[in-house]
Amino acid sequence: MTYACRQFYIDGQWVNPSAPREFKVINPATEEVAGVICLGNGEDIDRAVAAAKGAFPAYSQTTRDERRELLEHILAAYKARYPEFVAAISDEMGAPINLSRDAQAEIGVGHLAAMIDVLGRFQFEERKGNTSLILEPVGVCGLITPWNWPINQVAAKVVPALAAGCTMVLKPSEFSPFSAMLWAQVMDEAHVPHGVFNMVYGDAAAGAALSAHPDVDMVSFTGSTRAGVEVARSAAPTIKRVHQELGGKSPNVLLDDVDFEHAVRVSVLHVMQNTGQSCNAPTRMLVPADKLGVVEAIAKRIADGIVVGDPKSKSTEMGPVVSKIQFDRVESYIEKGIEEGAKLVTGGLGRPEGLSKGYFVRPTVFSNVRNDMIIAREEIFGPVLCILPYDTEEQAIDIANDSPYGLAAYIWGADAARARRVGNRIRAGRVILNGARGDMHAPFGGFKRSGNGREWGEHGLRDFLEIKALIGADAA
């Protein structure tokens, strides 16, 4: 199927761009054009922000119950279009159809359901003596999202912003516009009041215009640390709130008492899931030095068994990376790893056997990686695992924390209390013990250069609220 989305959703209408500039979206599995969009400019952003500003006075006064009901309508409309989301996500960024259905699209349901739950019990007002602390919507929000978990990132911003009573302009990634178009259609079908949700396609220039806009009170950005810095710079002169979900290079500490077969299998599959394009992927696996050989053998067997290929096939476990740029970037990191002297356990340069087109990368495992190597420090954002040996638990903790990032960390250990002790010492926004299942209510976000602020559940909602102290509340 080919898509055509040459319009933007502003003030409850699909409108033409002020100066049409076409952008072809390439299906990364076929290298063929999947569809065409138009990219917006500063004028389109101005128009969308004006709509959001106009809608704010009325929408910010809606009750919690009204907003909860709105989210329920959105959830129903989203579910009704579910198969289209599954197909669009797969076509635009190459996710295997099973992953698209069971995780990429499913997480949209997860965010909506979690927020409906949170909104039912959230306290927007709290009394402290003679003062009432009131949580109010922060205002007009600019939401800028990447392509790698496209609906997750849209939902993780739009849903709490709506729950808070904010109005917004979404600028999704130009590489994942089809799922965003469906999302805008769902907003329309659910009767989100005109101007509350607006969407403009665009590249970095549109993102910069949104970040700098004087009528935008908060910008929430997910993407690379590089662009996150630019967003903060653009936002600085207008003192808006800057919320950033950025990159990661998450450590995965395997303690010496663990079931290595299980921990390595789950961890390798996690790194390779979504073709390594997850900000929280456990890409630095820290293992006891005397277990290095055992771990390498398991990692090789699991990586070699991954079925790479056509995302439309039900047996495919790993699709392509999103674009030619991303393919070249990942290949250059694999080359750097080899040059730096890391041991290539499996994978390496070039497409996997039997695939002559598409941006497919070999599931790659490096071992004997030192933490000062480029492949251990920089986010590769591809299916590349680094295994690092350690001698003592203390050293493992030091290596885990020796990173500019602090998004997630993973700890495996048979002694649960010990695993938790180690986890407590890792500076990261999310620490996952022994492969625990995901939790839609647990906050998501990073320490250090992985960002500022949190998304998901109650903490995600709080970040879209502003606090007001009403002093003298006793007399009122």
| Residues near ligand NAD, by CB under 6 A | 144-149, 153, 171, 173-174, 203-204, 207-208, 211, 222-224, 227, 230-231, 245-248, 279, 379, 381, 407, 446, 450-451
Closest among 349, 363, 360 to 281, alpha carbons compared? 363
Instruction: Supply the minimum distance, in Å, between the C-beta of residue 145 and ligand NAD.
Output: 6
The encoded tokens of residue 382 equal 């591809």
The whole-angstrom separation of Cα 273 and Cα 222 is 19
Instruction: Supply the minimum distance, in Å, between the C-beta of residue 115 and ligand NAD.
Output: 17
Closest among 44, 49, 32, 34 to 7, alpha carbons compared? 44
The dihedral built from the CA positions of residue 32, 35, 38 and 40, taken in this order, carries a sign that is negative
Between residues 389 and 451, which has the closer beta carbon with respect to ligand NAD?
A: 451
Q: Report, as residue numbers or ranges, the catalytic residues.
A: 245, 279
Between residues 420 and 441, which has the closer beta carbon with respect to ligand NAD?
A: 441
Between residues 311 and 446, which has the closer beta carbon with respect to ligand NAD?
A: 446
Q: Which residue has the tokens 């917006």?
A: 40
User: What's the half-sphere exposure (Cβ side, CA atoms, 13 Å) at 63?
Assistant: 4
Q: φ and ψ at 193, to 5 degrees?
A: -55, 140
Between residues 172 and 311, which has the closer beta carbon with respect to ligand NAD?
A: 172
Instruction: Supply the minimum distance, in Å, between the C-beta of residue 208 and ligand NAD.
Output: 4
The SS3 of residue 336 is helix
**Which residue is at the shortest CB distance from ligand NAD?**
207
The encoded tokens of residue 361 equal 């990368």
Q: Does an H or E element contain 411, and which?
A: strand 408-412
154 Cβ contact list (under 8 Å, min separation 6):
108, 143, 145, 170, 172, 179, 180, 183
The whole-angstrom separation of Cα 47 and Cα 206 is 12
Closest among 66, 59, 160 to 118, alpha carbons compared? 160
The whole-angstrom separation of Cα 194 and Cα 432 is 41
Between residues 165 and 223, which has the closer beta carbon with respect to ligand NAD?
A: 223
Between residues 58 and 229, which has the closer beta carbon with respect to ligand NAD?
A: 229
- Residues across the chain: 476
Q: How is the chain split among helix, strand and coil, in percent rounded to 5?
A: 40, 20, 35
Instruction: Supply the minimum distance, in Å, between the C-beta of residue 245 and ligand NAD.
Output: 3
Instruction: Supply the minimum distance, in Å, between the C-beta of residue 150 and ligand NAD.
Output: 9
Instruction: Supply the minimum distance, in Å, between the C-beta of residue 354 and ligand NAD.
Output: 28
